[in-house]
Amino acid sequence: LKTAVSAHSNTLGFYRIAADGSLFDVHVVFANTLAVASGTTVSLGTPGNGERIGFFLIQDGFDPYGSLPDNLSFVAAEAGAPPVLMSATQGALTAAAVLHSTAGFNSGNAAQVLSGGAPGGRELLIGFEDLATGTGDNDFQDVVIGVRTDHDGIEIDKP
């Protein structure tokens, strides 16, 4: 985590995206980004062959959900609608907006992040806008994370 300067107690998570575009292996990284010290790191593991890693932010997610259990998944909604976040024990989590780093998973294909590579190509910086594009201030600094590789010869591509 680089910074979290939002007025919202956002929840940040990640998932893997299979080669066919399906989402799996869903985990919350920080239940409340405002309660996490800048510089806190978490290992995301290594994506499998043909897989990518995506991020999601639950807008003000800590207020309705607190610390979510580690039994989450995304299920496809009706055609053109964003995937729905599900908990095996709590059901559909629809009390707060879920925003994705991949625009195609957001309502209206809205871009909710800005990203760019840091000098040296070993870190990708991702800044979330925690209000729906068009209604927010579009500062893309509400939650900022850095994704780094620790493998020699590997550079990170931005989404």
Q: What is the pLDDT of residues 6-47, one digit of tens each?
A: 999 999 999 999 999 999 999 999 999 999 999 999 999 989
Q: For residues 116, 146, 49 and 112, what is the CA-based torsion angle, rounded to 10 degrees?
A: -60
Identify the residue whose tokens are 């956002």: 10
Average pLDDT, the chain: 90
Question: Could you tell me if 53 and 23 are in contact, meaning their C-beta atoms sit under 8 angstroms apart?
Answer: no
Distance from CA of residue 40 to its chain's centroid? 16
Lowest mean pLDDT among 12-26, 47-61, 145-159: 145-159
- Residue 12: predicted pLDDT: 98
- Residue 156: predicted pLDDT: 55
To the question of pTM greater than 0.85 for the whole model, the response is yes
CA nearest 112: which of 97, 91, 127? Answer: 127
